[in-house]
Chain A
């Protein structure tokens, strides 16, 4: 007997059981059921890349209040909202990022430029400032929590530490009541004493130290950069300078990595950023090229993967430390450039503690808030939206080697001045390189192997 059966679908299985239920979904993963799966995915990736560009609106807000250029920005370790900024006119403002209001405004905190700012405790209730008026001042500031406002901010400093020279930078010890200042010397101060407790300056040094920073993991180690093109390491336990390297150009700023304790980032006058492993100071770990003028400031993200830099070329750039950049590196390799028409030379940049925002202080007297990821969406994000965003992200990552997707990701708009400066710089470097090649080809200089770019950076290492 022949058994015959005919395919029949049960319609009841394909409609929701109760009204409001989701419609049942039936899947078949056989590739022949999904023609052009790859091509369609590529289209989605292309759309995702374009959407990413469309949603790239990094500028969030501008915090006004200073009447001169903003020189320095700082944030406490354990606060998401508090940021302090100091300006050239000696004004000091404590901003609340959440409400975007001024929690404290000191129009004359110092006479002349405020050159350094740092919080004296992780909560951010005391603030240290130094200036060219040869004073260090300790301020009591409210944390803005409301209930814990016992010691509201006062217009008068808690303490004043006078000295003979003007200061360039200040940084507080992570746990102890110590702070370091940079002037022509590097000094360690005790908060309870009115004179420096020790002087760590490198013995033969005769330079102006421009920036000093304590290491984040090993707080007794600190580093400084100075006008003699040096990068110096100190230890407050031995009480002296340990070693230093002299580089081709001077560095303007310095930042220790929050996750890799030996990694330091230097913002150099030669338009580049360098990361150094302090165990091997003979050459930088990586060179980050991209700025078209001197880099004035740098700061790591709390994740330790990205960092932000601000430069004399009026741009803020966000870099991934894992990717060195360059044309052939693909979309992940090139840094993100933020700029606006009204932003002037960027003198200071910091990351917010949640790594979602970047703040920049510039010559035009504004503190600007940017998103750390340009296409990030602010506000509440539903689970479906989040899932679709993550899907788009992974699509773009997967298809970034595709010609069109990669092109969309790489394309960015730069201000004409920056673009032209980049072109000019490229021409000059190219000419220099060609000349060097020719010299090598026709003289005895060609007998040796060319020196790698990283090796050229450091002139000498001293200890």
Chain B
């Protein structure tokens, strides 16, 4: 029996056993000596087997010991969690914290390495002096200086007057382009831009397409907008009657009957939702995996010509004829945000897809929105804070202004007869100069002689900007606008058919439910803070606290400790937090600051008789006045009920409170009379035996 117990006692962490051993060995020696000795033994005691193999093997990251040097240097960063009594939990938290910091450090390093690799590829324009301006450089110069393969990005496609590209959209990976061209926009073409092949051309006017197969696509209709679905294998076209879906070869595969007279289209790739806004001002979400229409919202703002998405939270931005910009999610029947942005119809919206900086930038991606209106203004908005524009400027030239952000945060603006591209940091920095409407410094400018210019789109993962104009489609080179390092697991321009199929299946499996679309995408995986704070407030309002009058609370603070009060909820029924709160063991260090709630203004009444109103704050007073005369009888009844129940503990608390009140009153009186009163009073011989007179 004893042997069993001894054996069980011997089971403990190796470090503890070691500590015991060294303590025993150093017993006879001097203190300082033993200390040094113990350190030596602990270092020399290391595992020989481990040493012999450690140079050849990799310990998995999760099993690797926490780096002692790093933890020592950043000792202040690792929280101690001293307030947590449970040792296991505490050590687990510390371990988790250290692991997380290690992981983030490693990730950052890896990212830096990747970026340094990619930095060679990234495009740029380097000027040698302040007199050299990047916007003076023409496309011919760029083409001449880069030469070779890169120069092939500069293309001019001419279709004929009035038959230019009206709308276009790149595929996710930037390899394919789909655009509307032809007379009145009756031709939809999908091309493999990188490979230089035409996938298909759908001629809506002829009622048949060049690929030879398929239906008539709602024959004779003009296309208003076009977008790729998950990849180049399908694209949706907003035609006069309905939205039609064509496959890669231009065969009509679907007709979405319940979207009537659509104007603009977009596709939310992570949610597999096709968003369409109609001439009647209805915004509809269609789940392309099941074909069901999951939501239709009436915007009540008339025909809508501008639709874009924020790629980082899947919120849809609509620009309306009255100058309003509205933000929509499928879950809200009303816009999540509505701002009056322009004095006139909104012509274009774009959301910044980049985080506006290098690695480690604190900006959240998708923070800035750019809008352009028919009032000739371009405005930049901060999506976290809609108080006002960050920056605005006026553009010259007739016609609708179109704009788009590139992946790296460059802003392309199409106005009049030219396209202007602006730098990232200056676009979003508030301008403080004298004239509030100065344009940010220009990065690149390119005139196109075929007015009107109709649309522009930056090619993802490339330095190419495609512009649709009256006569055709031209692409220009804008160095530095594309993300040089693509992620093969997200979007890969060079993927083969197998990888594309695999990605499609993976994407379907990872499809995010439309309910999760919110303005703040970081909501997923967080605790519901509202519920947490609600439970926190209920802790404070225990029955014990409610026994005290409000005025008492004001006088002695909300933290008057009342113990053993007959609470309605029995102890065994309480939640764990409530139990801890009752026992006074509640840990409030991690909770949100509710100081504003508990902060009660201290107001002392001028004289003693205004005891009940003296301690009330203004809101409480106004509330009290408001409540006067309302439902008084019920209150009286309840008060009587409370009074008539004889509970010794409640009585004890009442007595205590009364006593404290009396004492406070007495003290106040004393203070009023001043010290002289006390001295004037004659002391009797027996006063020395009074309680509290021990001097």
Contacts and interface: CB of A to CB of B under 8 A. Distances in A.
A452 B141 CA distance: 85
A234 to B, nearest CB: 9
A35 interface: yes
B32 interface: no
Interface stretch (A19-27, A109-117, A176-184, A411-419): A19-27
B86 interface: no
A389 to B, nearest CB: 15
A393 to B, nearest CB: 14
Contact of B3 (A33, A218, A441): A218
Interface residues of B, number: 75
B146 A6 contact: yes
Contacts of B114: 27-29
Contact of B524 (A24, A27, A38): A38
Interface string A28-53: 11111111101110111001000000
A2 interface: yes
Contact of A279 (B5, B118, B486): B5
B487 A34 contact: yes
A156 interface: no
A233 B311 contact: no
Contacts of A78: none
A450 interface: yes
Contacts of B446: none
B487 A3 contact: no
A47 B521 CA distance: 20
Interface stretch (B223-231, B566-574, B614-622, B668-676): B566-574
B494 interface: yes
A39 B4 contact: no
Contacts of B488: 23-27
Given A6-B150, A33-B487, A40-B510, A218 B128 contact: no
B485 A26 contact: yes
A64 B523 CA distance: 55
Nearest to B564: A447
A7 B482 contact: yes
B295 interface: no
Interface stretch (B156-164, B351-359, B587-595): B351-359
A378 interface: no
A1 interface: yes
B570 A437 contact: yes
Interface string A431-463: 001000100110000000010000000000000
Contacts of A61: none
Contacts, number: 177
A57 B122 CA distance: 53
A2 B521 contact: no
A427 to B, nearest CB: 16
A32 B4 contact: no
A217 B4 contact: yes
A425 interface: no
Contacts of A402: 525
Contacts of A238: 1
Given A40-B512, A242-B1, A34 B524 contact: no
Contacts of B8: 260-262, 279
Interface in B498-534: 499, 509-513, 516, 521-522, 524-525
Contacts of A262: 4-5, 8
A380 interface: no
Contacts of A28: 111, 114, 118, 483, 485-487
A366 to B, nearest CB: 37
Interface in A306-335: none
Contact of B312 (A32, A215, A235, A278): A32
B7 A218 contact: yes
Contacts of B1: 221, 233, 235, 238, 242
Interface residues of A, number: 54
B479 A6 contact: yes
B270 interface: yes
A4 interface: yes
Nearest to A262: B8
B490 A30 contact: no
A30 B11 CA distance: 46
Nearest to B4: A218
A382 interface: no
Contact of B525 (A30, A38, A47): A38
Nearest to B409: A32
Interface stretch (A9-17, A284-292, A336-344, A347-355): A9-17
A2 B365 contact: no
A7 B122 contact: yes
Contact of A8 (B121, B311, B365): B121
A5 interface: yes
A39 B483 contact: no
B493 interface: yes
B477 interface: yes
Interface string A212-235: 000101101100000000000101
B142 interface: yes
Contacts of A3: 124-126
B247 interface: no
Given A26-B492, A32-B365, A36-B270, A8 B4 contact: no
Contacts of A31: 355, 365
A1 B132 CA distance: 9
B270 A7 contact: no
B150 A433 contact: no
A2 B122 CA distance: 16
Contacts of B480: 7
B509 A47 contact: yes
B257 interface: no
A3 B479 CA distance: 11
A14 B5 contact: no
Contacts of A242: 1
Contacts of A26: 485-488, 492
A150 to B, nearest CB: 38
B521 A5 contact: no
Contacts of B198: none
A217 B111 contact: no
Nearest to B10: A261
Nearest to B525: A38
B435 interface: no
A450 B570 CA distance: 10
Contacts of A215: 4
B365 A35 contact: yes
A43 B571 contact: no
Contacts of A235: 1
A233 B8 CA distance: 16
Contacts of A29: 107, 110-111, 114, 487
B490 A33 contact: yes
B137 interface: yes
Interface string B557-577: 000000000100011110000
A402 B516 CA distance: 13
Nearest to B314: A36
Contacts of A44: 509-510
Interface string A197-220: 000000000000000000101101
Contacts of B679: none
Given A14-B492, A27-B489, A29-B111, 6 more contacts: A4-B125, A4-B146, A25-B489, A27-B488, A38-B522, A221-B4
A-B pairs, top 6 by smallest CB distance, nearest first, are A14-B494, A32-B365, A218-B4, A262-B8, A7-B123, A3-B126
23 contacts: A2-B128, A2-B137, A2-B141, A4-B124, A4-B479, A8-B150, A9-B121, A9-B493, A14-B493, A23-B496, A25-B488, A30-B111, A35-B312, A38-B522, A39-B512, A39-B516, A40-B270, A217-B4, A218-B7, A261-B8, A279-B8, A399-B525, A437-B570
Interface of B: 1, 3-5, 7-8, 11, 107, 110-111, 114, 118, 121-128, 132, 134, 137, 141-142, 145-146, 149-150, 153, 270, 311-312, 314, 353-355, 359, 365, 461-463, 477, 479-480, 482-490, 492-496, 499, 509-513, 516, 521-522, 524-525, 566, 570-573
